[in-house]
Structure 1
Amino acid sequence: MKVNIKIYIVMSCMLAGSLFSACNKFLDTKPEDFVTPENYFNTEADLDRALNGVYNRLIDNWGRMYSRGLYSYLNISDEFFYKNVSVNNLRVLDFDAGQLDVGKLWEVAYQGIDRANLLLENVNKPKMDDTKRNAIKGQALFLRAYFYFVLVDNYGGVPLKMSSTNSPTTPNLPRSSVAEVYAAIVADMKIAEPLVKDISTYTNNERVTTTVVQAILARVYLTMAGEPLKDVSKYADALTYADKVINSGKHSLNPSYSNIFINHSKDINEPQECLWEIGMYGNQQGAAQIAGGVGVENGLECPDDNIGFSGGAVHPTARLFNLFEAVDQRRDWAIAPYKYVVTAGVVSKSFYTAAQVYDRTAGKWRREYETQVPKNRLYNSTNFPVIRYADVLLMKAEAENAVNGPVAAAYNAVNQVRRRGYGKAVNAADPAVDLPAGLGRTDFLQRLQDERARELCFEGMRKHDLIRWGLYVSKMQSLATEVNNNAPAAWKYAGSAAKNTTARNVLFPVPNTEITINRFITQNPGW
């Protein structure tokens, strides 16, 4: 984005420093220019650089976190499929515990955790303003918890490593239970909540702030209420934290659904709707190496580099397309109604026909709106939104329904999102758009589940939602049948991932690399 957050490799250097302590016996003098925890963390600037290093692991230049993987090939569900991929690939769930990207996601998350641990162990060293120190501490605590949330969501129970690595002989740890990992996540986030700053303190939404902590806590509690823990008491906690965000008055829906994503492509920060975005910078050309790929793999097809190249790899399923009414403005923004083609050297838009549902691609982030030039084929500075206010409203509606039933507050929350989707004023009742009155708990939840699919498609939430609702395997298997029965012959392979889905796919396997080096760890069922 337009804010240049410089990422340093200081944390890596400090970790490496401990590996070379044996060299001292070969040296007569002590090196004074080598970065170690002992001679670092002495100033506020040191802490800021170290904190940037923790944030950096949310990007991961190899694409396993939010530069690409967590909203695309690591989140296969019933909302999309990959063009021209049918066998022997993670993208169709045909892989094993040696799969590189699954292993790297684990590795990058633990790198973030280790960097956070090292920062937290040294946060009290500098003489500095305590309010600023607390804000750094709060962000580090939250980020450590968030990395664990990514891990437990994808792998189940994982080793809880709450101190930094200071020796290659540090003992390996066994897996903690899912409940223990969530307890650690909640503990860190609740400590972080009063320490981090208000979002109005910043000029962008790339930092963890009070309402970010509260919104993600609502997501964590809602997850704990579902599979696999099924702790339904956590619905009340989810409601409490969603209400904290709503009642803060800091956030609101952008009146235009499409403008949310146009702003991302234009490098415009908009903290009213988007509480927290992963900040990307540059396009991987020159010194800045913290770019992402939002809108590249998951963008509308375009062969022209000047407009913004995308192979259009991610295609919506007919199931997702058919969830929308034709007058729902989100449909033809989230699902591209056209692609770019070259005819006699001229680039132009080619619009899909009504029959070409499977031909369409994801369309939320359109590279034609990017302002940074020259454009890179694989990288850009488009931020990714981890949590939007619309998601908070939908979580509020879901938790309210679970605790109190489909009361007026639950209806109001979901109807605001629906009205914006149809281009209506969000706070004015509209019988043509609003959910029908008199729904029971089960019917309201079904409507809410469909609304989340419409509003949040291609944002990395669908797989997570289906798993916590206990619907992932059944939804994927029924999708395989739908595609086989209804898709055009050329698109039958669109059901390949669905056909390969079994109960084991609720979790990723623990990577073989971890199994090999850690004799205390066990593999997930089915892998």
Structure 2
Amino acid sequence: MKKHILYSIIILTLGLVSCKKFLDENNPNSINLGSYFKSQNDFDLAVNGAYAQLRGIYNNRSAWLMGEMRSDNAHYDYTPTDQAVATFSKWAIADFINDGSNIETPAKWDAAYNAISAANTILDHINDVDLAVTSKNQIIGEAKFIRALSYLELVRYFGGVPIYPRAPLSRNETYIARSSAQEVYDFIIADAKDAAEKLAPPSFPQTGRATRGSALTLLGDVYVTTKKYDLAEAVLKQVTQMNYGLMTTYPDVFQLANKNNKESIFEIQFNTGLSTPQANTGGNVYNYLPRMTSTTIITGVNTNTVTAPGGYNTPTQELISDYESGDQRLDATIAVAEGSFNVNDIFTATAVKSVVGYTPPSGKVGRPFAKKFLHAHTIANQTNDNLPIYRYAEVLLLLAESLNEQGGKSAQALPYLNQVRDRAFGAGKGTISTTDQNALRAIILHERRVELAFENKRWIDLVRTGNAITVMNAFGVSQKQRFSYLQAGTYNITQEKLLFPIPTSEIMLNDKLKQNPGY
């Protein structure tokens, strides 16, 4: 236990700045990173701690606020009686009126740099102990994968950011200027390549740790993002040779009994079975439920999402309508809470219905909600669901995209695309046969939308494919027609809005940081 506590202190304090010695004698109550790492077990604990930091990136409201509610996949339940700063900050992200003072977006920045710092602490001290080559490579590979994944989150949402190849040891090394986005991508590519070389291929059943397949998928994702499609094709084809495969049905992917299944490339681990203080849980789905005083009819657990709160990441009609007839993913991703509102605009659910072909009966209303990560649990906000970061289905879609974008290879993209669609519709029932590059480009983007809904990919996809401004401005027009509370200044999407603002608090700490244009 003492070692767990010691490591937590090391990671949380980041070990960034060294202090002058005031005594020749070592203070037994101080932490000296140079003497902490004495065995492989110490590094194993440190790697586990670095993985834990990823939960702050992906199990935080900023993940779905910035990845889904920023897009045309999701909106929120407006409540005129709730105008609190915390509430308005969430709405502002969806409505494109957020600025650097928004209190929700800094969580992604903070969590990513916490994970980077944790990885740097490991890499800076990896040579402190004489480790077996295999063990050393595994530790380096996992640390570099975590660091690369964290920088990828930063650069996608904020653009160029400060790069720390090691933990800074002085104020001058800590407060540095932003690197360009390309420099950040180059740094990610270098880390991902090294991780892929050092990590072992996946073995089944999987443990949830990063593997060579995880690193190559990340690398392929970056190559697609930076439009290096030939390089993406090469590395993603390697992943298809690593014995991954699609689960038989779409719901199978997300069942609690199937964590780290054959389709899992990398997922954030949660386990409600651990006793406190080690217990860790994923409970974001409660934010996705309608605002109501009791969630029992939906979750089996009685909690209040009016005060919690709920009513966020609500599926839009545009998303629901984008599922084709016969697509089994719709029913597995979205459900409808059926009920009524009282005079205080509080919803009471009386039944849960399928969204497929749903029409509310007289006197009732239907509130769609994202149910993909909602499974049986006994304690509110502790659903025990892992969060997928990369799935094999996405590898297939990224590979299809990389082939189609090269020109002349669109026909080669079809088998990878159709593997995903065969599972969704049944073998041969949803087959795509067109080889027109533009048509196939739109089909692949659509396929990513419905396959990866509520996995925080939609906003990223719209931006990197150059569709964000057109799609979101058109969506904004529909939203303003639908909701009278949206003001004229909302949904004014320009090039500057494709990035989020650097948190004002960071600029106040570091005067070398320059704000993104338009904020």
Same fold, TM exceeding 0.5?
A: yes
Residue number among 246, 250, 253 corresponding to 1:260 in the alignment: 253
Residue number among 355, 358, 361 corresponding to 1:354 in the alignment: 358
Residue number among 422, 430, 435 corresponding to 1:433 in the alignment: 430
Q: Please state how far the C-alpha of 1:142 moved relative to its aligned partner.
A: 1.5
Other-structure match for 1:291 = 281
Distance (Å, rounded) in 1 between the aligned partners of 2:459 and 2:6: 31
- Corresponding residue SS for 2:444: helix
Distance (Å, rounded) in 2 between the aligned partners of 1:7 and 1:36: 11
The 8 Å contact of residues 406 and 440 in structure 1, kept in 2 or not, is answered as: no
Distance (Å, rounded) in 2 between the aligned partners of 1:442 and 1:313: 34
Other-structure match for 1:512 = 504
Gap runs ≥5 in structure 2: 342-347
Q: Please state how far the C-alpha of 1:206 moved relative to its aligned partner.
A: 2.2
- Cα 1:8–1:281 change in 2 (3 A) is farther
Distance (Å, rounded) in 1 between the aligned partners of 2:488 and 2:207: 38
Other-structure match for 1:113 = 116
Other-structure match for 1:251 = 244
Other-structure match for 1:228 = none
Q: Which moved more, 1:155-164 or 1:498-507?
A: 498-507
| 2:196 counterpart of 1:193 | yes
- Cα 1:498–1:365 change in 2 (3 A) is farther
Q: Which moved more, 1:310-319 or 1:235-244?
A: 310-319
- Cα 1:481–1:191 change in 2 (3 A) is same
- Corresponding residue SS for 2:35: coil
Q: What do the CA deviations read for 1:358-388 (whole angstroms, capped 9, x no partner)?
A: 8311121223x33xx3x13x34321100001
Distance (Å, rounded) in 2 between the aligned partners of 1:477 and 1:14: 43
Matches within 5 A, 1:315-326: 315-326=314-325
For the aligned residues, what is the CA RMSD? 3.2
Gap runs ≥5 in structure 1: 226-233
Q: Please state how far the C-alpha of 1:440 moved relative to its aligned partner.
A: 0.9
Q: Please state how far the C-alpha of 1:10 moved relative to its aligned partner.
A: 4.1
Other-structure match for 2:130 = 127
Distance (Å, rounded) in 1 between the aligned partners of 2:210 and 2:74: 30
The 8 Å contact of residues 272 and 280 in structure 2, kept in 1 or not, is answered as: yes
Aligned residue type for 2:226: M
Distance (Å, rounded) in 2 between the aligned partners of 1:509 and 1:463: 15
Q: Please state how far the C-alpha of 1:14 moved relative to its aligned partner.
A: 6.4
Matches within 5 A, 1:230-245: 234-245=228-239
Residue number among 393, 396, 400 corresponding to 2:399 in the alignment: 396
Matches within 5 A, 1:116-515: 116-168=119-171, 170-200=173-203, 203-225=205-227, 234-248=228-242, 250-261=243-254, 263=255, 266=256, 268-282=258-272, 286-288=276-278, 290-298=280-288, 303-304=295-296, 306-307=300-301, 311-338=310-337, 348-349=351-352, 354-355=358-359, 359-367=367-375, 369-370=376-377, 373=378, 375-376=379-380, 378-405=381-408, 407-422=410-425, 424-425=426-427, 430=428, 432-435=429-432, 437-485=433-481, 487=482, 499-515=491-507
Q: Please state how far the C-alpha of 1:198 moved relative to its aligned partner.
A: 2.2
The 8 Å contact of residues 159 and 173 in structure 1, kept in 2 or not, is answered as: yes
| 2:91 counterpart of 1:83 | no
Distance (Å, rounded) in 1 between the aligned partners of 2:273 and 2:359: 36
Q: Please state how far the C-alpha of 1:12 moved relative to its aligned partner.
A: 3.1
- Cα 1:18–1:255 change in 2 (3 A) is same
TM-score (norm 1): 0.84
Report the count of equivalent residues: 487
Identity %: 27
The 8 Å contact of residues 10 and 53 in structure 1, kept in 2 or not, is answered as: no
Q: Please state how far the C-alpha of 1:482 moved relative to its aligned partner.
A: 2.6
